Each structure stands twice: as C-alpha cells, then as structure tokens.
Structure 1
C-alpha cells in the first residue's frame, strides 16, 4: 500500500526540524503519464512514467535552500534535510523570504468542487493508440496532405500535497487527457505544416480524434503556396490560437518578480490605461474542470478571483509572499511551486473580455492586412516593450483572404499594440487562457 502523500510530507518536515531548520515547507508529487505516438497507422513510440518526487525548502533566519529527490526512503529524506540546512547556512540573506502566518492559510482545501480529477479508469494504451490512429487517418483523408508528421495521444494523473512546518497541510489530484495531430502539405521546399489538438481534464470532454486530424490537414493545405507579404504598416488579426501569446507578454510584465527587479515595461503603469476601455483581464482560479484551477497557492494561501486589468486600467501585480514583501504589498495568492524550486509568482486561469464581432467581421473591417495563424521566435525588450516576431498566415485584401503568407516579421511596441486592439468573440471557454482573436491596428510588417 503506497504511503499517503501527507505522511511523506510530515516525515520530511520532521527531518528538516531535526537537521536544524528554523522553518520549512514541502511539496510531494505522485504522478503517472502515458504517451502514444502513431505514424503510418502503426505504433511509433510508447512511453510510460510513474513515480514520486519530493521537494524541501528550509529556512534558517533569512537564508533558504531548496533540494529535491525521487527517493522517499527515510535515509534519503534525512540526507536531504541535512544537505538543505548546510546549503541554507551558506546562502545569501534574503529579507523577504518566509512562510505565511498561519492566520493567512486557506481553510477551504477540498478541491472536489473544482472537479479536476476524472474518476474513470486510466485509458488503456491500445485505446490511446486507436485515438491517435483515428486522428492520423482523419488528416490523411485530405488529398492535399503529403504526410502526417505526428499523431499523439496521452494521459496523465498527478497527486500533489503541500505541507509547512507551521501547520498547513493539504493536497489535490488532477487528470489530463490530450490528443494532437501535425499534418504536412506539399513536398520539398514547398512543404507547409499545421496542427490541431485538444486537452481536457475529463476524457469524455475531448473532441473526436477524426475532427482533430481533419482540422490539422485543412489548416496545412490552406497554407500551400505561401509567399512573403508586402512590407509596410498594416492592421494584423491574431488568430485565437496565438492571440493568447500577446496577452502573455502583458501578464509577464505584471509578474511581481519582474516588477521588483525593475525590468518590466509596465513597472510604472499601475492605475494607468493599458487596454481599451471596456476590456478587463480576469484571473479566476476556481473554474471547474479547468487544469490550472486551484483553491490554494504554492504557499497555502487561499486563491480568489481578481481583476488584473479592470475596464482597461491596470489594477494589480501577480505576487507571491516574497515579491509582495519586497514591494510593500499583499500577496495575491499566486505562488507557484515545483519540487526543485522555491515559490515564485505564477498565474492560474485568465480570461480577456470578448468582443461582439466574429473574426470574419473584423477581417472584413480591416480591409487590407495580415491574418496571423502562427508565430516563431521572439524578440521582446522587457524594459521597453519593443516587440518583433516571425509570423505566417494569410494576406487579406478587401476583407477577404487572398493568399497564404510566410517568412515575414510583425513588429511594434506592446504598450501601443495593447491600446489599439479589438477582440473578436471566438475565445474557447475550456482553455486556461480564454483569449479571442485580436485585431491590432498599425503594426509594421517586413516582407517583400
């Protein structure tokens, strides 16, 4: 019978106390993952992994150290604790570290309300192989496809437990099902690639494998004959699949660690208008059946719904305890933690206000410009917000797609871009980042 994760956490905390730690916290992760790849209708690769990882952070005064292992034997835990204490004694002082006060800890830790664990049996490897094969077959049914690069199905299960030396002890379990397909059209130098995928907490919520393969193929075929677009200043419509990356740059800039270092292009923007009026950016960690949901953060604090941007105005940073102390603020319960690292600020579920118009309607309004469906590379100046990325997609004339585009660059400044964006109405509600397609006016395109 496997030892309960809470018992393992208590044993490691006890070892830390005996080794001389003033305070400590522990994270224990028990996981299983299965991945199946199919190519040409046959099994290409099958992987399975399972095990327990443990992470220990000890503090001596204002010094800390973090150690991790995948061995839960008592001798290993004792050695971990001893080494962590020795490391902490040699670490530089950090006046901002420390556990939460017990009065701050979450009291509601029953994650059943979040419905993060699929109670069904672990999928049989043959079932995963069949799903991947069906996705591949769906892509191959398109005569414009020259090959299917990959079709993969996977399943994962994780149990996580967090414990602190001053009384917090809670955990949760979650599952994940995913399926992806990458299709290629054309041959030689004219090859074009695109993909589709789905990822859910519950297997019953997954899209049909054939639909994923069919969509991947259609996207790859649509990119056939791609060429460089015109150089100049044009409106750019970011497809829903990649629009979240633009909002991701905003979210990185409001991360407390970046702000505390003074390396964020939004470091002086608190209370300023950074999005158009009417748009809000909401974090909601309590959405059911969404993989990133959680009732408490990596330091045991209760999570809450909050507006990062409210009606276009920046209202808050993303903070854990250390960055909150450094900035003279209160933690937003956004500590993220792994077994191999100390807590740092991280986000859960994000949603941007959707617009009223479809992507097609926005494309019609923009007249001439670029629909971007894929991006590569990234040159982002974290201090100024200057932005430049390689892009591909479709050139639009008179509101209609005219030809596929590749090998171009889109550039601008994030502050200006965010103030000029218009959202569509096509965000997918099951994702952790619910961001619709975004129309951005006046970007610089480098092509022919």
Structure 2
C-alpha cells in the first residue's frame, strides 16, 4: 500500500507545533521486502514484510526529543507529538542542537541522475526461489563442497520523505535486489565455510546466481586444511573483500562525533599527511545506482562530492550541524538519522584511489606473507590507533599462495599502517565503498 509521505510529515509537523514545539522535523518511510531461502533443494524460508513508519524530532529551546509510530491516525500523531514535547522539557540542554538555517537547506543534485529505483518491477517469489536454487546447485557442483548452509534471494523497495519547520521538504525512493550463497566444504571437524553474494539497486546489474554459487563453493573448498600462520613480522595483504574495513577505521576517526569527544587517533592530524602521497579518499553521494547515494542529508542539507583525504593529506572532518557548531565549523552535509534518534555524522559513497598493480602483482611482491580474506573480533584503541584482529586467509611463499591459514592475529598501529598502504587495482566499482586490496608491508603476526 502506497502512502502520501509528504502529507504524513506535514501532519506530524503541525501536531508538533500545536503541542508547543519551537521547531521540528519529521521523517516518513514506507516500503516492502520479500526474501526466499532454500536448503537441500527445498524452500526453507519465505518472508514478506510491508510497513510504514513516521518519526518526529521536536526542539524546545535547546532541548530535543525523538519519537516514532506506525499508527497513522491523526489523534495518534497528536499524542506522540505531545509526548515528544513533554520528553524534550525533561531532556538536558544542548547548545549545539537546532535545525538548519533556511539558506543552508536544499537538494544537492537532480534525483533522476541517481537512478536508485528499478523500473523493472518486483520479481515473483518463484523467480527469487529459482535464483536461490540455481546458486545452491552451482555451489554443490564445486569439488570439495559437501553441503550448502543456505542460499537465498531478496527484493525490497522503500521511500523516504523528510520535512522540517525551516521549510525543507524532499524525498526519494530506492530499490534493491540480492542473491547470496554460503557453502561448506569438507566433513566432520575439517569443515570450512565461506560465502559470496551480490546486492544491486537494479536487477539487471546483479551477477548471475551460478557465478555467486560457484564463487562461494570455490572459496569454501580453498579454505580446507588450514594451519596457523607463522609468528613474526611479515607483509599483510588485505583482500578487497575486507580492505574497506581499514578505510572504515580512518572514516570513524575523522567523524565529527569522535573529534568533538577528543576520542580519535586522528584528532591532531587535520592538514597533515595520513596516507601516502598520491592517494585520496573521495566521498561522492551522487553516483548513480549505488546504495550510498542521496540528494540531501538527514537535516535537509544538500549533499556534495568532497575529498576527505587529498593527495595523502587529511582535509576535513565528517560533520552534521551539531558537531560542526561544536567544533566551530560548517556542516559537510553528512547527517544521518533514524526514526527514533537525532542526526549524527555518517559517510556516504567512498572511494580510495586505486593503484596500478593487480592483486597478483602485490602477492608476488610480498615474497612471504599473509593474504587476509576474513577478520574476526577487534581490539582497537580509538585514542591511539593500536590495532589487533583475528584473521584467516592464505599464506604466501615465494610470491605465490601456498596454503590456507586460520586462527592468526595481525597487529599494528593504524596511524602507521594507513601511512604505508599500497593499493591494488581490483576495487569493485559498484559498491558504496570502492576500496581495492591493500598491502601493508610490515605487520606483526601471531600464530604458530
């Protein structure tokens, strides 16, 4: 069922003003999703959900409160607005909260250029089931695969609309289509598991179920009979499946919330070299057909392309209005918000400059080292950047993959690690975070 989201937000804002709010913003979201899972050639689960939710943030002086509801009756919205104002009266004062000024709000791009909604229509449950079965069959056909833990396909679509008493109003729609498969190789205590999947906004961009299932099976079979990695200092290559986590640590450290708290290993690095020269981290929320794209942020500010790191130099923080005010700066248009929470800084689409070498070239360059394809757990000190994570993957000898390894630990300091990264050229361009495999030539490894 389609709802008039613009009308719902207008009703909620009026209810907030009637209840005594000085200012308010309202968000409405509706959508539907269907997911199908199979196992052993049979349907294992089928889920369908549809819903609508509206959220309200009220501001009373320098106090704020958030509420949400899925009850769309006018009297219910009025009650929620009154409750929100009552909550705001009891909330602590925050000198930095507040809506954007009228000259700050706007739309950052033509919505049509983002191409976020597939016009192909929703697939039938039978189509989703067929994709899941095809992925499962492809995984089972891989030598060494003993079973498939699960395979599935899903489709979803959603719409969001934001309006505020400062005059901002805007919305957009998004769809997504997904196929995944998790394969198990070996038997008994020697079983190993790995997976593959793909999620795109447009169904026509999705990789085939056969490719996804085969890749999941090959990854699982390649992990059979692992040993612990050698203890010592060796090069570590982060596969592009998990390398985005390294850049994620950088993004977390330059988030305005962390900077405002003083809890960041990058707090004193603004304007300094944090990556090797020639490497940049670019945020671009206007890439078409990408999950992180959006024309405006959660406070109604226009989104824009910007360099977070340019030629290795950290150029700025990621800010919403409140953290920008606290730091004496200007919002970067990076506010994200949920239905029941106020805005906070978040990143959109990110891309790290790719290198000229392939992953295979970097493996050959390593000589002896550790190719990491999976990470578990994390011990990271946000103040110092000290870093330690459990890891598994493959051992490299004489510049070639030798054998699988697991139950290892890699450690270092993120400030030093980021300053020495060597990127490959294998990033997946359709992802929201486009980050290639990354080589760090000297890290501590604990194993056997």
TM-score by length of 2: 0.99
Q: Which residue of 2 aligns with 1:84?
A: 84
Residues 31-110 of structure 1: pairs in structure 2 closer than 5 A = 31-107=31-107, 110=110
Superposed CA deviations along residues 140-172 of structure 1, whole A, max 9, x for unmatched, are: 011310110110111110100000012111000
Distance 1:246 1:108, change over 3 A: closer
Q: Number of paired residues?
A: 448
Q: Within 2, Cα distance between the matches of 1:79 and 1:278?
A: 56
- Gaps in structure 2 of 5+ consecutive residues: none
Gaps of 5+ in 1: none
1:116 is paired with a residue of what secondary structure? coil
1:11 aligned partner: 11
Q: How does 1:235-384 map to 2 (within 5 A)?
A: 235-384=235-384
Conserved 8 A contact 1:385-1:413: yes
Matches for 1:118-137 after TM superposition, within 5 Å: 118-137=118-137
- Mapping 1:155-194, distance limit 5 Å: 155-194=155-194
User: Residue in 2 aligned with 1:144?
Assistant: 144
- CA–CA distance in structure 2, aligned partners of residues 151 and 108 of structure 1: 38
Measured after TM superposition, the shift of residue 229 of structure 1 is 1.1
1:2 shift after superposition? 4.3
SS at match of 1:241: coil
Report the 3-state secondary structure (helix = DSSP H, G, I; strand = E; otherwise coil) of the residue aligned with 1:138.
helix
In the alignment, is the contact (CA less than 8 A) between 2:143 and 2:221 conserved in 1? no
SS in structure 1 of the partner of residue 331 of structure 2: coil
Trace 1:386-397 onto structure 2 (pairs within 5 A).
386-397=386-397
Q: Could you tell me whether the CA contact under 8 Å between 2:108 and 2:304 is conserved in 1?
A: no
Tell me if the contact between 1:109 and 1:171 (Cα under 8 Å) persists in the aligned partners. no
Q: 1:419: which partner in 2?
A: 419
Shift of 1:3: 3.8
Is this contact kept in 2: 1:20–1:85, CA < 8 A?
Answer: yes
Offset of residue 107 of structure 1: 4.3
* CA shift for structure 1 position 109: 6.2
User: What is the aligned-residue RMSD (CA, Å)?
Assistant: 0.9
Output the CA distance in 1 between the equivalents of 2:139 and 2:224: 15
Q: Is the 8 A contact 2:107 2:295 kept in 1?
A: no
CA contact (8 A) 2:55 2:340 kept: yes
How far, CA to CA, are the matches of 2:70 and 2:39 in structure 1?
Answer: 33
Q: What's the CA shift for 1:71?
A: 1.3
Report the CA distance between 1:121 and its aligned residue.
1.4
Asked whether the equivalents of residues 179 and 197 of structure 2 are also in contact (C-alpha less than 8 Å), the reply is yes
Match runs of 1:14-25 below 5 Å: 14-25=14-25
Are the aligned partners of 1:96 and 1:322 in contact in 2 as well (CA < 8 Å)?
yes
Question: 1:226 is matched with which residue?
Answer: 226
Shift of 1:70: 1.4
User: C-alpha separation between the residues in 1 aligned to 2:110 and 2:272?
Assistant: 38
Task: Give 1:447 shift.
Answer: 0.2
The CA deviation at 1:110 is 4.4
Give TM-score scaled by structure 1 length. 0.99
| Structure 1 SS opposite 2:8 | helix
Aligned-partner Cα distance in 2 for 1:387–1:421:
15
Listed one character per residue, the Cα deviations across residues 288-322 of structure 1 (whole Å, up to 9, x for unaligned) are 01011011100011111000000001001000000
